[in-house]
Structure 1
Amino acid sequence: MSNAWILGTASTVFQKWPDRTFRDLAKEVVEGVLSDSGIAGSDVEHIVFANCAMGAHGQDNIRGQVALTALMRDGRLPARVPIVNVEAGCATGSAAFHAAVSAVRAGDVDVALAIGVEKTLVPDDPVRTFQLFSGGIDQRHKHEWRTFFAEQGKRSGMGWTPHKHRILFLDVHAMQARHHMATHGTTAEHLAVIASKNHGNAVHNPRAQYRFEVPVAAALADKEVVEPFTRSMCSPLSDGAAAVLVCSDAFLARCTKQTARRAVQVRASVLVGGTWRNIEDDNVVAHAAARAYDRAGLTPDDIDIAEVHDATSYCELQATELLGFCERGSGGAYAASGATARDGARPVNASGGLISKGHPLGATGLGMIDELVRQLRGEAGALQVSSNVRVGLQQNAGGLIGLDEALCHVGIFEHRA
């Protein structure tokens, strides 16, 4: 089985792009990833296209073909390259990456492109924008999760009070955050520390949606969304695109020395599905992390830098525990210690994370990989945390099965040059 190598990455700025088309966003990152990798579009043998929202814009099927056909017609991509469309909620981009890596490792192709393009904002129809997120949980059997969440809220003492004008995921994360606070002594200030860190990091990121600092006190005093979260602790609605180009050992051997020196090895790319669980049980992140470390032959201590799925500040806190960066229950104190800061022992979300860089669903996971690759190569510019980072971890999850994310990806990457 071949190794898989990342040859190139690219990302647009993540923000609200009401006047840009899916084709326009796709064109920017395809041209960017080919330029970054130094190879021709004609070398691409397989494309996996990640998207959640094109249906809300009138294109339910063959989304990648529609977004990329102009590039194929112009010869920048092969005319008959197969395009496989994937959707997995907020984990869609990572699902596309995993499929590209799998195709290369299996020996089916030497070069595969994973691309995510997203427009979550439907400017003239806010209801349709809201419905994009409703689709991340079972809409055919609503009574099952409504009963389950009410039972979990009652048995844990955390309550369950969703609001029809609030994205349900926020209530699910908030209930778990309140349980963590009651069980381990985590505070709202711990959540504000994480939010403030990520907002501060994004100031240096030219691809970030929000590029302003938010002091801890301001994060605490911001508009409440749902207890214990304020607006500063939650990721925004975003549009954008990102792409990652993956190749085999054989193809890398034919590349120039400069290209080979910049290649980043995929030590692990693991997907794990969610299941119904109680609020005190480990979620899918712990299971995906265990498999990824085993696949890579590494431990949490080997990770120099991480980009994790901070849809809320609590999601980052929980991820640092479940990924093994700190003891269970100590995620708040770990963040407050400065260990996850850009100048800390293990920077987490140096890009600004979803909270500040943005969260364009189908592009999110690929954008996280793009940020890690820049860091591992030492090419992150003002964002660069250290010249010594060699191994990076990405964790991205999406959808809901009860309290669990429906799908979680953990990727581990190493740059040895």
Structure 2
Amino acid sequence: MLDSVYIIGTYTTTFGKWPEKSGKELTRDALVGVLEDAGMSDAGAMESSYFSNCGMGILWDQDLLRGHCMFAPMVDEGLFPERVPLVNVEGGCASGSIALHLAWKDILSGLHDVSLAIGMDKFYHEDMARVMTAFNHGIDREEKDSFIKRYQQVAQECGQDFRFGPERSIFMDTYAMQACWHMWKWGTTQEQIAIGASKNHHNGSLNPKAQYRFEVPVDKVLSDYLVSYPMTRSMCAPIGDGAAAAILCSEKFLKQQPAAVRDRAVKIRASVLSGGKNRPIAEPSLTKWAADKAYNMSGLAPKDIDVAEVHDATSFCEIYQAEMMGFCPIGKGGEFIASGATMLDGEIPINTSGGLVSKGHPIGATGLSMVYEVANQLRGEAQERQVKDAGIGLIENGGGVISVEEFACGVTILERN
């Protein structure tokens, strides 16, 4: 029988615009923080590590050995042990969940007892054209023409217009077109999207780690600057910097730890990755495939989930992912969000952290920051945004775009120990 895998440490820096902090400083902050959270005086027990990052090559001219370069100074000063293997991980916005999955497999297989998943990105840059170029690498650039043609077909079907250009954000435009199709097909409204955005800005105002810590009423969300219809600025994740990490261990290692560590451990009930394809827009996405497999792996069902973090790069995504995770019927996500079901005291609180639209979205760190939020909810340590009696949590993290879905997705289910 395979050993159980536990998370004993989680940490995230505050997300935001940090021009004064280097990538090495942010990575160091995350490592120091996660060691402290795990009750470890040093990283000597670490046997493997996975570093999640997407922007360093395009934005900061550091490719090929990103994580190795970030960790070298920490090895020199003795903060991180020598000779521990480090693997660079890149899968678009899903990179953090992929790093977690690989660390989980190391322990599940019996190869290691302790593994680190850590992610960092710095997307705030004085050259915004360069930032837009970085985001435009999240599609198959050799197939750009067919990609644009596919979205033009979707736009024609729902009576909209799809635009593409170097001065625009490809992800905001594609999410916006998916939202337009959902509105045309299912009657979802811009106001329902705004209700979800406003809810998440409220949650973010309670989160000391969030990039945006202010409330935005529904009417202000709707009247904000239009990025790509129906998405206003308040419905879109901001550009920013940050780092996050998790330490995973085997049951054998956990049993050797002090009671204070054992009592805060969070069990990984399921970790599933899935890959995107060129699908018809009416077909459920790769995230539903991953969620269904995660439920099967864990022996759980959507009704068993007490709290969830889903990848809301735009607020429409929360509507769509609520459907894909099985929290409501397909086509009813807008009504579900508007009903209040996903609020802190609702049927299934979603994005208690504030979600990407409020917490922020430094791509390589995002998936692991979602782990931090759900783990803290299960530990009862989420303070003002604590969900009552949270015992089971779900994380959905997607990245890249192929046709009308993501290129990569990770779904993780965690349980209070």
Q: What TM-score range do you get, normalising by the shorter chain?
A: over 0.9
Preserved contact between residue 103 and residue 112 of structure 1 (Cα < 8 Å)? yes
Q: Distance in 2 between matches of 1:198 and 1:316?
A: 10
Shift of 1:147: 2.4
Root mean square deviation of aligned Cα: 1.1
Q: Does 1:162 align with 2:164?
A: yes
Correspondence list, 1:51-90, <5 A: 51-55=53-57, 56-90=59-93
Q: Distance in 1 between matches of 2:287 and 2:383?
A: 30
Q: Distance in 2 between matches of 1:146 and 1:184?
A: 24
Partner of 1:272: 274
Residue 3 of structure 2 aligns to a residue in which SS? coil
Matching residue's letter, 1:109: H
Q: Distance in 2 between matches of 1:391 and 1:157?
A: 41
Shift of 1:163: 4.1
Q: Distance in 2 between matches of 1:357 and 1:371?
A: 11
Partner of 2:413: 412
Preserved contact between residue 42 and residue 78 of structure 1 (Cα < 8 Å)? yes
Shift of 1:383: 2.3
Q: Distance in 2 between matches of 1:224 and 1:302?
A: 37
Q: Distance in 2 between matches of 1:312 and 1:369?
A: 19
Q: Distance in 1 between matches of 2:61 and 2:228?
A: 32
Shift of 1:258: 1.7
Q: Does 1:151 align with 2:162?
A: no
Matching residue's letter, 1:164: P
Shift of 1:8: 0.3
Q: 1:366 to 1:205 in 2, by over 3 A?
A: same
Q: Distance in 2 between matches of 1:348 and 1:51?
A: 25
Q: Distance in 1 between matches of 2:160 and 2:274?
A: 27
In structure 2, stretches of 5+ residues that fail to align are none
- Structure 1 runs, 4 residues or longer, greater than 6 Å off: none
Q: Distance in 2 between matches of 1:164 and 1:350?
A: 34
Normalising by the residue count of structure 1, what TM-score does the alignment of the two structures yield? 0.97
Q: Distance in 2 between matches of 1:28 and 1:323?
A: 33
Preserved contact between residue 91 and residue 408 of structure 2 (Cα < 8 Å)? yes
Of 277, 293, 296, which aligns to 1:294? Answer: 296
Partner of 2:99: 96
Matching residue's letter, 2:409: C
1:365-406 deviation line (CA, Å, top 9, x unaligned): 0000001101100011222122x0000000000001111100
1:72-118 deviation line (CA, Å, top 9, x unaligned): 11112111111100111111111111111111111111000000011
Residue 240 of structure 1 aligns to a residue in which SS? strand
Residue 404 of structure 1 aligns to a residue in which SS? coil
Shift of 1:336: 1.1
Preserved contact between residue 154 and residue 181 of structure 2 (Cα < 8 Å)? no
Normalising by the residue count of structure 2, what TM-score does the alignment of the two structures yield? 0.97
Preserved contact between residue 57 and residue 122 of structure 1 (Cα < 8 Å)? no
Between 1:95-104 and 1:138-147, the stretch displaced more is 138-147
Q: Distance in 1 between matches of 2:405 and 2:319?
A: 16
Partner of 1:310: 312
In structure 1, stretches of 5+ residues that fail to align are none
Partner of 1:18: 19
Preserved contact between residue 118 and residue 362 of structure 1 (Cα < 8 Å)? yes
Q: Distance in 2 between matches of 1:63 and 1:164?
A: 26
Q: Distance in 2 between matches of 1:248 and 1:358?
A: 31
Preserved contact between residue 156 and residue 279 of structure 1 (Cα < 8 Å)? no
Partner of 2:113: 110
The percentage of aligned residue pairs carrying the same residue is 46
Preserved contact between residue 154 and residue 177 of structure 2 (Cα < 8 Å)? no
Number of residues paired by the alignment?
414
Preserved contact between residue 45 and residue 81 of structure 1 (Cα < 8 Å)? yes
Preserved contact between residue 158 and residue 180 of structure 2 (Cα < 8 Å)? no
Q: Distance in 2 between matches of 1:139 and 1:186?
A: 31
Q: Distance in 2 between matches of 1:202 and 1:23?
A: 26
Q: Distance in 2 between matches of 1:159 and 1:2?
A: 52
Q: Distance in 1 between matches of 2:201 and 2:156?
A: 34
Residue 142 of structure 2 aligns to a residue in which SS? coil
Partner of 1:351: 353
Q: Distance in 1 between matches of 2:165 and 2:340?
A: 35
Matching residue's letter, 1:341: M
Of 224, 231, 235, which aligns to 1:222? Answer: 224
Partner of 2:343: 341
